[in-house]
Amino acid sequence: MINTIKLLILLFILVPIELFSQRSFLMAHRAISSQEASISKIRDYNSSILIKSELDNTNDGLNKYVLNQNYPNPFNPLTTIEFSSTKSEIIILKVYDIVGKEIAVLVNEEKPAGTYRATFDGSSLTSGVYFYKIQIGAFTDIKKLILLK
């Protein structure tokens, strides 16, 4: 009887929390991606979210660009975001809050092929979940970062 009660409590507490988390992510993703083509796949692998649009249906595009998970994560107040490209392209790297509002533009310029690091300063922000998005041509990737104060 006690185990049944514990199970019911867990179901009524943990399931809504998980649904709220998923709903918040989807709201932020929709706001961030409103100007892009329709999304064909969304996968979540330990805070790493791969978004593949219909613009990039070829497998050869997946190895040309890399957006790494920020470090440290969680962070306070500085974190480093590393990304790379195999050819000269215009690179746009932006940070968004949980509802999709643009917080910062870290990179918005043409860069030659190579690996780069951008530093994000969250000292003026409140603790919470934020997203960073990179655009290199038709390639787009979004990852989650956590600010803990």
**pTM greater than 0.85:** no
Rounded distance between C-alpha atoms, residue 83 and residue 93, angstroms? 9
pLDDT, tens digit (0-9, with 9 covering 90-100), for 24-59: 555 555 555 554 443 333 444 334 444 434 334 444
The full set of domain ranges for the chain reads 2-147
Measured CA to CA, the distance from residue 68 to residue 54 in angstroms comes to 22
- C-alpha–C-alpha distance, residues 61 and 131, integer Å: 22
- DSSP one-letter string for 49-91: EEEEETT---GGGGTTEEEPPPBSSSBSSEEEEEEEESS-EEE
Q: How many CB atoms lie within 10 A of CB 39?
A: 14
Assigned superfamily of 2-147: Macroglobulin (MG2) domain (2.60.40.1930)
pLDDT in tens, 89-129: 999 999 999 999 999 999 999 999 999 999 999 999 999 99
